[in-house]
Amino acid sequence: MQYIGRIFSSAKRMYSDINSATLNGAIDVIVVRYPDGELFSSPFYVQFGKTGILRPCEDVVTSFVHILAL
């Protein structure tokens, strides 16, 4: 029984040592409007962490342009 307890304890310790800040995130995007009205943006990405794989329905992405959701 102690063997099973040690397995769960080790798994819990390994999971709690994961830094979630390195597993997900995004970068800022700069958008420039040219005089003719055309928009150009800097490259951007969104990265979902590996911990989110267990519950993918919780990964919701909403894009905003001029405070309007797309």
pTM of the model: 0.33
Q: How many C-beta atoms surround the C-beta of residue 48 within 10 A?
A: 15
- Each domain of the chain, given as residue ranges in start order, spans 21-69
Is residue 6 predicted with pLDDT exceeding 60? yes
pLDDT digits (tens, 9 = 90+) for 10-64: 666 655 555 555 556 666 777 888 899 888 888 876 666 665 556 666 667 677 7
Sequence-ordered list of residues with C-beta below 8 angstroms from that of 61, at least 6 positions apart, any chain: 46
* Cβ–Cβ < 8 Å for 38, 32: no
- Do 56 and 50 meet the contact criterion of CB atoms below 8 Å apart? no
> What is the chain's Cα-based Rg?
20
